[in-house]
Amino acid sequence: MSTTFILAILLLFVAVVLASQGAWEWWNSRHGAVARRLESRIEAVATGGVGRKEAMSILKARKLDGSTFGQRMLLLVPGIRSFEAWVQQSGISWTASRVIAMCALMPVVVIVAGIFIRVPLAMLASAAASSTLMPLMYVRYRRTKRMRRFQKQLPDACDMLARALRSGHAFSGAIDLVGTEFADPMGAEFRTTFDEINYGVSLNEALTALAQRVPVGDLRYLVIAVLIQRETGGNLAELLDGIASLVRARFKLFDKVRVLAAEGVLSARVLGLLPVVTGGAISLVNPGFLEVLWRDPAGVMMLEAGSALLVAGMIWGRRIVRIRV
């Protein structure tokens, strides 16, 4: 192999790397997180304090208002307001009525697909029943992810509130700084709180509404501490520093517990997936070997009993490795 050919390969590799890096920098400068925050702030300045979408969010347009027949029927369901708030906490654009409609539509889609694929009736029924929970599981996943991200941002938000107070800002102005400088979900929730204060809501009511919108224990501690401090007096900046230190110490404890329970979590996942993966591999290698499980009545009973025991074992294993602190 000649030296010229090796040099050409090296130059080609360097050119591809540089082109990839340049393409990434170009995309990130126009569509990355920093670019989106800059665009949001420019829009906020251009519209007099808040962006158009952010100004409309305080109107709670996604709440059930009973304007249609379906929404009026949903309002008769007990707990529908709490369910709507739960959906909103996920940060997605779905409404409660849309989630309920998707839960009702998913089994129909699964049954129609199963008829064309010719899946056994028992498996089709169980798959259709399980698909009903898929939209709820997705909303729950997004809500949990958003709450965890908010909780991780909270210590830094407390530090910014304390610094803003020390520099001479009022507490409402400190809330505006957090809403402006932080990414979502912290920024969005604090912007909504600041907008409520500007629209005439008292600070106590706005903070209470914030704690209700975001059911995070550490945030409730922060709100309660601020409300008590407004009644009794004291150094609010030092109080916020103490809350930030407390939250960070709790995070360290949670991480330590998570590391200690990692082996049990991995074992539970492996044991839960082992029958499914093994059955899929056997069906792929020898398709007719497991047909007795859904063709023979005794095999169907064994399959149902095994599935029930597997689900029970997964739930029990999750309870074992889930340590509450």
* DSSP state string for 249-312: HHHHHHHHHHHHTHHHHHHHHHHHHHHHHHHHHHHHH-TTTTTHHHHSHHHHHHHHHHHHHHHH
Q: What is the CATH number of the domain that holds 210?
A: 1.20.81
pTM for this one? Answer: 0.67
User: Is 167 found in the same domain as 231?
Assistant: yes
Kindly report, residue by residue over 42-58, the tens digit of the pLDDT.
655 444 444 444 444 44
d(CA 196, CA 207): 10
Question: Does residue 52 sit in helix, strand or coil?
Answer: helix
pLDDT of residue 136: 92
User: Is 93 found in the same domain as 166?
Assistant: no
Does residue 63 form part of some domain? no
User: Is 190 found in the same domain as 276?
Assistant: no
Let me know how long the chain is.
325
Does residue 65 form part of some domain? no
Does residue 51 form part of some domain? yes
Q: 175 and 198 in contact (C-beta within 8 Å)?
A: no
pLDDT of residue 159: 92
User: Is 273 found in the same domain as 176?
Assistant: no
Q: 179 and 193 in contact (C-beta within 8 Å)?
A: yes
pLDDT above 90: percentage of residues in the chain: 14
pLDDT of residue 162: 92
- Residue with the larger pLDDT of the pair 65 and 243: 243
Does residue 143 form part of some domain? no
**Mean pLDDT score of the chain:** 80
Domain with 284, as residue range(s), is 261-321
Q: Using pLDDT thresholds of 50, 70 and 90, give the confidence band for residue 27.
A: confident
Q: In this model, does residue 299 exceed pLDDT 50?
A: yes
User: Is 231 found in the same domain as 161?
Assistant: yes
Residue 54: CB atoms within 10 Å: 20
Virtual torsion, Cα 58, 60, 62, 68, nearest 10 deg: -140
Mean predicted confidence (pLDDT) in 200-211: 89
User: Is 200 found in the same domain as 237?
Assistant: yes
Kindly report, residue by residue over 54-77, the tens digit of the pLDDT.
444 444 445 565 556 666 676 677
User: Is 298 found in the same domain as 201?
Assistant: no
Q: Indicate the residue among 254, 271, 300 that finishes a domain.
A: 254
pLDDT of residue 153: 92
Q: How many domains does the chain have?
A: 4
pLDDT of residue 57: 44
Q: In this model, does residue 248 exceed pLDDT 70?
A: yes
Kindly report, residue by residue over 107-160, the tens digit of the pLDDT.
888 888 877 777 677 677 878 888 889 999 999 999 999 999 999 999 999 999
pLDDT of residue 130: 84
Q: In this model, does residue 11 exceed pLDDT 60?
A: yes
User: Is 240 found in the same domain as 160?
Assistant: yes
d(CA 293, CA 290): 6
